[in-house]
Amino acid sequence: MDTEAFLRRIGVTHEEKPSLDGLTRLHEAYVDQIPYESVQYQLTPGTPLDLEETARRIIARETGGYCFQLNGVLALLLTNLGYQVTMHRGGVQTPNLPGDVDGGHLVLTVRGLVEDPERVWLVDAGLGNGLIHPTPLEAGAFHQAPFDLVIRRSEKTTGWRMDHDPRFGVFGMDFEDAPATLGDFAHRHAELSGEPQSPFRRTASVFRRKRDSIVIMRSVSRTETFGDRVDSSLIENQADYFATLADEFFLPLPQYDGTQRDQLWRRIWKQYEDFIAQSN
């Protein structure tokens, strides 16, 4: 990957040595500037899990990513910058998912920082409404606005669990101590990105993790959740939808021509209509 171009894309300068300050600034900029999104799978499902190609498309603002792509590319970036990065197999628990550690989530840990080389840090830019900053991989409660979170040993695997704030639709995330490789996620990536019944195919979603809030657009419904309130709105026309993608989520989709934009808008509006019909 073009490391310098990627750093320019997220607006971060290069640190000479791996440090906590450098890792923190990289993590915050990464989740703020690169959206967690499934818009990419609405017209082109089942794309290969190719980190260098994903990095190129992120730089070109053609795509964001989801956990395999976002954490995979982040691992590549951090490694190029001298950080000691390990991938782990994980699983996310939601009202619709049991949270089995089935490789449905890719998690990163980092060590070797100049301040404390042996201390391990949890790094996760691929949860959508997850961390804004890295956090020590040690048991305890912590707050990252607007979330109250807990890290503890997992009951599902030999590894760790992050209990999420139950107000936000994610109960928790478990992951193994054992290291993993990108190939360990290929099968689940093929399913989640390509199968028609996958949630990433059924609903076009975009997340942006800001310092004090989380902005989510599911089909045409936009919400921003703060610690004390939720702001909601509906995007009712195609021009506003693509403007929101470009201006708020930094995803202008330059590769889509007018015909493809029309096709994508019709698909996304149909998702909203189907949701309303099922709710009534």
Superfamily name and number for 202-279:
Arylamine N-acetyltransferase (3.30.2140.10)
CA–CA separation, 139 and 130 (whole Å): 17
- List, as one string, the DSSP characters of 175-202: EESS-B-GGGGHHHHHHHHH-TTSHHHH
Alpha-carbon dihedral sign for residues 251, 257, 262, 267:
negative
Domain boundaries, the chain: 3-187, 202-279
According to the CATH classification, is domain 3-187 in 3.40.50.970? Answer: no
| pTM of structure | 0.96
Common-topology check for domains 3-187 and 202-279: yes
Low-confidence ranges of the chain (pLDDT < 50): none
Distance CA 26, CA 256 (A): 29
Residue 196: the pLDDT is: 96
Rg, C-alpha atoms of the chain:
18
DSSP-H helix ranges across 44-165: 51-59, 67-80
- pLDDT at position 247 is 98
pLDDT digits 0-9 by tens, 178-225: 999 999 999 999 999 999 999 999 999 999 999 999 999 999 999 999
pLDDT of residue 253: 98
The contacts of residue 136 (CB under 8 Å, 6+ apart) are: 119, 120, 121, 122
